[in-house]
Amino acid sequence: MSTHSPHKQYCTAFVGLDVKVPLMDGTNRRYINFDNAASTPSFKCVQETVNQFLNYYSSVHRGTGFKSQLSTHAYEQAREITMAFVGANPETHTCIFGKNASEALNKLARRFPFSPGRDIILSSGMEHHSNDLPWRKAAKTVHVNILPDGRLDLMDYDAKLAEFGDRVALVAVTADSNVSGFINPIHSLAEKAHAVGAHIVVDVAQYAPHRKLDIRDLDDPTHLDYIALSAHKMYAPFGTGALIGRRDTFEHGDPDQVGGGTVEIVTLEDVTWSGPPERDEVGSPNVVGAVALGAAIRFLDEVGMEAVAQHEAELTAYLLSRLQEIHKVKVYGDSDPGTASERLGVIPIQIKGLSHFLAAAILGNEYGIGVRNGCFCAHPYLLRLLNIQEDQAALVRERMLRGDRSDMPGLLRISFGLYNSFEEIDTLIEALNQITLGHYQGDYFQDQTSGEFYPHNWKPEFRKYFHF
């Protein structure tokens, strides 16, 4: 076991880390969460800030009472904090709050000012569905190839930009893969997009909690035109996301959703829309969620994103080195501990000869370890990583459409948060060792409709832990 535990200076900053969960053998064990790429636990400062704010919570904008004015002040301050976190200039950028990054990207897809001469969106084969499917509905979408190891094919990016040239309206790319942890050279991609007159939107939902972001000034050829992030991946699970981007885009055009808060003047014959960001924040906003995000960002700034990145790189290097001890475990993407600082702490693995569904069930039920398994909302990318040919994929799709997901391709994904430790990795390695040896106690059955495995004769009593 490692003697160095880099999480100790951070672990007291989180809610619920000491919570124990029930195991199949009747014992309880402190939960180990390696599913941070999906959602992160809450900072205590977020919980405390929200509890303090709820004493004053009220409607925002145009209210004359003290609580309403204070709530408006808090909401707008959260917007300022969010913009400052990514280096956005309030004179040239705006920050539109919504539910999450997925909603933000859908909004941009509906609001982006396409023109007849620019009718192509250049995306990639490594995107989360949320930065792919909205664009398919908006315009002709062309995907940049992925190399066999999972990296973005930069030569193909250049080739497609050259092929389509001034027909490219927008480049939509992720800052990093939520599956493999590969980081893309987003500012270089932006410069090349701008050279052909296109804008670029970057999905930073996975990147923002782990690395320093800089959207850069609009006169910088490497600037990012739009970015989308989610608070639930940034230790603020209160249902907020943000679309941050060019103010001039949102100063024009009709909002994609209309109603209260989006207008200046309405008559029975006409409407005058508000300016950004109000034009695109229909109805009463999630003020509490914005306050939570602001509090989380303040704490991340206090820790320092360089320290966050260093901590994660240490954990990633340690896990990759320990995984080399287990011959039946295959790491997808970059498995070199020496390059851990060049990628995010998102590690996809496969246990040879064992369903990812079953492996995840054993880790949860017998060790109290939470991981993610499956395709991680990036189906085309997983098929590429797993080298599944189209005829094989077609057979799987056919079975899934018949309601049988038992053979759905997928991997196990281990992803780190600021609070994770070397000791937790040691526990995971011990569990994986036992699983590869066939040493697990449960007698599991598979639900074909979901693909998931469940142990016979045991089920957690959730009502003992929480119910309404």
Catalytic residues: 377
Residue 167 CA to residue 13 CA, distance in Å, equals: 49
Residue 89 CA to residue 85 CA, distance in Å, equals: 11
Tokens of 28: 């309880």
Residue 390 CA to residue 30 CA, distance in Å, equals: 43
Placement of tokens 């933000």 in the chain = 104
Placement of tokens 């989380």 in the chain = 296
Q: What are phi and psi of 44, to 5 degrees?
A: -65, -35
**Beta bridge pairs of residue 348:** 413
What is the chain's length?
468
What distances in angstroms separate CA 179 from CA 41, 61, 71, 77, 275, one per listed residue?
Answer: 20, 40, 38, 34, 38
First to last CA, the chain: 41
Written as one letter, the residue type at 352 is K
Residue 354 CA to residue 375 CA, distance in Å, equals: 16
Longest dimension (CA), the chain: 73
Q: At what angle do helices 305-323 and 287-303 cross, to 10 degrees?
A: 80
Specify the DSSP element, H or E, that contains 424: helix 422-436
Count Cβ atoms within 10 A of the Cβ of residue 282 and give its class: 0-12 exposed, 13-18 middle, 19 or more buried: middle
Question: DSSP for 333-368?
Answer: S---GGGGGGB-SEEEEEETTS-HHHHHHHHHHHH-
Query: Are 204 and 227 spatial neighbours (Cβ–Cβ below 8 Å)?
Result: yes
Look at strands 32-33 and 369-370 and give their pairing: parallel
Query: Are 289 and 103 spatial neighbours (Cβ–Cβ below 8 Å)?
Result: no
Identify which of 189, 81, 83, 194 has the alpha carbon closest to the alpha carbon of residue 144.
189
